[in-house]
Amino acid sequence: MTDDLGADLILRNARVITVDDDFTVAGAVAVRGERILAVGADADMDALAGAATRIIDAGGKAVVPGLVDGHAHMDREGLKDVYPSLEGARSIDDVLARIEALAARAAPGEWIVTMPVGDPPYYWDVPDILAEKRFPNRWDLDGVAPDNPVYIRPIWGFWRHTLPLVSIANSRALDVAGITRATPDPSPTVKIERDASGEPTGVFVENTYIPIVELTLMRASGGFVHEDRVRGLKASMRAYHAAGTTSIYEEHGIAAEVLAAYKTLWERGELTMRCNLVFSPAWDAVDGVPLATLMPRWAAWLAGRGLGDDRLRMGGIYTEISTNIDNALRAQASPYTGWGGFNYDSSLERRQVKELLLEAARNDIRVNAIWPDVLELYKEVNAEIPLAGRGWVFGHIAVLRPADIEAIAEMGLVLTTHTNRHIFKEGHLRRDEAGEGAENDVVPLRSLIDAGVPFGLATDNVPVSMFHPIWHCVARYNRQIDGAIAPAQAIARAEALRAATMGGAALSLEQNEKGSLEPGKLADLAVLSDDPLTCDEDALKDITADLTMVGGRIVHEREDGG
């Protein structure tokens, strides 16, 4: 520090979009320690500068509060580099050449496991992107890796939101996994593809968004270990920081193995992101224990804002209604959770979820849920125990009727969006579901703002930049119709930026700590490659961060200096 009154760092010659109540635009911001000391004109900062003050010239660029990803699944991003990529392969020969190169470096019998066929982040149009218009099979793979078990993994279905998911194993991998012509399909949603003689071709077809095969039939191929998750989490943070994100909220819940990776980085002082996690229970571990017994004990660390500090905090609980038998299959891999990072048996029957919600309300534990059928349960619980003021979260909103919005406002819920799915990819489907004359019920952001309902934006990890959902909110663009879905529900750029900052802070009850650039708040900010308030509308999604700061510390800086 310079002295008791001076600044450690001054960012000047900037267009500082403060996102304060008046949406003030200033020229400079001064930082002392982890917090903002002052915001104002360049000249206002002169009195705060000392000999040791670092001065950064922003070159006239836009500076915004650090973005908050309200449903990040951040840990997944770095895991995408654990296994070799097949990106760019445009024929089966291309795929085989990658496998052959891996086999040349592998010991006999060593597993060769790769990422899926297709190109990230969405893995669209497979296998049509391959010249043969089909996936390779076991015999194709045998030709280049006869001495090694080979497994090409399926995608995580929520990257693409189209089915099916496909994975491929060679003959050696099938042998190791014990899969023969007599092996039955493990689920109605999973098909072991077979040739005319009934022999498995090595191709597995899954009509479900969450993979089953890699957690069951092909579990012998391995998975992510703790060291993978730790390294992956560090890579994930770098990727999110490069897009200006400084905080994440994991409303879908976090399982123990992922929490362990967060804890390792926190203990090392290497957790550069502000991470608010939500508890994903492993119900099989507490089978038969009454909720009235569990919840008061869990409240000791989950109630209110939860337990932790401003870098790592666990609070609240995730739940959903489901009796899907496939979740029981996935849970057989417990405590391993694969790409999910949450426990697959965290879903319960409707009566159990209602009991959980009531016990959570009694014990001041914030509930997070993302499926629309839970909203009705929220209403039922609210009739018994008023929810206003508790900050419960309802996420991934899709279609909301006016009566839903009225109830949400009454209950004081905080919402998250999933614009990547419900506007950009599948907005046309949501419009059809809403019915004739009800298009404006699809992700009705304008109506939510008018009703005073707070909401944050979210990436769901695909892609990692929050400027995609900001663009979705403003443009309402749907790739299938090549046009806008419910354009009357579009919001202004300033409103979208507020949702990505202050709206995200509301998810963790931290509006007084972050979300705007004001004196006393945490010095989380990003210097951007373009101005989100004035750039071409289509350019919104392409904005990146030249510099990102968390608590006064630079956590990302473009090598070319922007």
> Residue 9, by phi and psi: left (phi above 0), alpha (psi -120 to 50) or beta?
beta
Looking at the structure, do residues 197 and 266 belong to the same domain, yes or no? no
Nearest to 145 by CA among 121, 124, 176, 186: 176
Residues 188, 253, single domain; the answer is no
| Residue at a domain's end among 191, 223, 255 | 223
Backbone angles phi, psi at 435, to 5 degrees: 95, 165
Q: Is 556 helix (H, G, I), strand (E, B) or coil?
A: strand
Decide if 356 contacts 318 (C-beta within 8 A).
Answer: no
For residues 378 and 488, membership in a common domain is answered with yes
DSSP state, 43? G
CA angle 137, 141, 147 (to 5 degrees): 140
Query: Considering the domain boundaries, does residue 352 fall inside one?
Result: yes
Residue partners of 269: CB distance under 8 A and separation at least 6: none
Instruction: State which H helix or E strand residue 444 sits in.
Output: none
- Residues 259, 189: one domain? no
What is d(CA 292, CA 298) in angstroms, rounded to the nearest whole number?
11
Residues contacting residue 514 through CB under 8 Å, at least 6 positions apart = 65, 66, 68, 246, 247, 274, 501, 505, 521, 522, 524
Residue 29 included in any domain: no
d(CA 131, CA 140): 15
C-alpha triplet 30, 34, 37: angle, nearest 5°:
30
Are 520 and 511 in contact by the 8 Å Cβ rule? The answer is no
- Report pLDDT for 1: 40
Looking only at the bridges linking them, the beta strands covering 274-279 and 245-254 are parallel
Same domain, 337 and 277: yes
Query: Do 185 and 254 reside in the same domain of the chain?
Result: no
Query: Which of helix, strand or coil describes residue 95?
Result: helix
Q: What predicted TM-score, i.e. pTM, was given to this entire model?
A: 0.96
CA distance 273 to 90: 37
219: DSSP letter: G
> Could you say which of 181, 197, 223 is where a domain stops?
223
* Contact residues for 391 (Cβ-Cβ < 8 A; gap 6+): 366, 412, 414, 506, 509
Beta carbons of 307 and 315 less than 8 angstroms apart: yes
Structurally, the chain folds into a number of domains equal to 2
Assigned domain for 231 exists: yes
DSSP 425: I
Please report whether residue 537 resides in a domain. yes
- Residue 396 phi/psi, 5-degree rounding, is 55, 45
We report the CATH number of the domain holding residue 429 as 3.20.20.140
Q: Is residue 462 part of a domain?
A: yes
Q: Which helix (H) or strand (E) holds 353?
A: helix 350-362
Residues 363 and 287 in one domain: yes
Which residue, chain included where needed, has tokens 């608590």? 551
Residue 495 φ then ψ, to 5°: -70, -40
Phi-psi label, residue 12: left if phi above 0, alpha if psi -120 to 50, beta otherwise: beta
Strands (E), 319-445: 320-321, 347-348, 367-369, 393-397, 414-417
Q: Which residue, of 223, 238, 256, is where some domain finishes? A: 223
pLDDT recorded at residue 160: 95
428, 385, 387, 442: which is closest to 409 by C-alpha? 387
In a domain, 531, yes or no: yes
Whole-angstrom distance, CA of residue 80 vs CA of residue 60: 36
Identify the pLDDT of residue 536.
Answer: 98
- Which residues, listed in sequence order, are joined to residue 65 by a DSSP beta bridge? 525
- What are 268's two structure tokens? 């090392």
Question: Exposed (0-12), middle (13-18) or buried (19+): which is 562, by Cβ within 10 Å?
Answer: middle
User: Which amino acid, 153?
Assistant: R
Domain CATH for 143: 3.10.310.70
Nearby residues of 153 by Cβ (< 8 Å), 6 or more positions away: 83, 113, 114, 115, 116, 167, 211, 214, 221
Task: Give phi and psi for 75, each to the nearest 5.
Answer: -60, -25
User: Are the CB atoms for 218 and 165 separated by under 8 Å?
Assistant: no
Distance CA 370, CA 350 (A): 14
264 and 298 fall within a common domain: yes
Domain-located, residue 70: no
Instruction: For residues 148 and 272, state if they share a domain.
Output: no
Alpha-carbon span 337 to 400, nearest angstrom: 31
Answer whether the bond into residue 65 is a cis peptide, omega within 30°.
no
Assess whether 89 and 168 both reside in one domain: yes
Of 304, 300, 297, 298, give the one whose Cα is nearest residue 364.
304
Note whether 180 and 268 are same-domain residues: no
pLDDT tens series, the chain, 562 aa: 444 679 999 999 999 999 999 999 999 999 999 999 999 999 999 999 999 999 999 999 999 999 999 999 999 999 999 999 999 999 999 999 999 999 999 999 999 999 999 999 999 999 999 999 999 999 999 999 999 999 999 999 999 999 999 999 999 999 999 999 999 999 999 999 999 999 999 999 999 999 999 999 999 999 999 999 999 999 999 999 999 999 999 999 999 999 999 999 999 999 999 999 999 999 988 888 999 999 999 999 999 999 999 999 999 999 999 878 898 899 999 999 999 999 998 568 899 999 999 999 999 999 999 988 999 999 999 999 999 999 999 999 999 999 999 999 999 999 999 999 999 999 999 999 999 999 999 999 999 999 999 999 999 999 999 999 999 999 999 999 999 999 999 999 999 999 999 999 999 999 999 999 999 999 999 999 999 999 999 999 999 999 999 999 999 999 875 5
Distance between CA 490 and CA 388 in Å, rounded? 27
Q: Are residues 154 and 113 in the same domain?
A: yes
- Range of 388's domain? 227-508+516-555
Gap between the Cα atoms of 371 and 321, Å rounded: 8
In a domain, 249, yes or no: yes
Tell the burial category of 536 from Cβ atoms under 10 Å away from its Cβ (0-12, 13-18, 19+). Answer: exposed
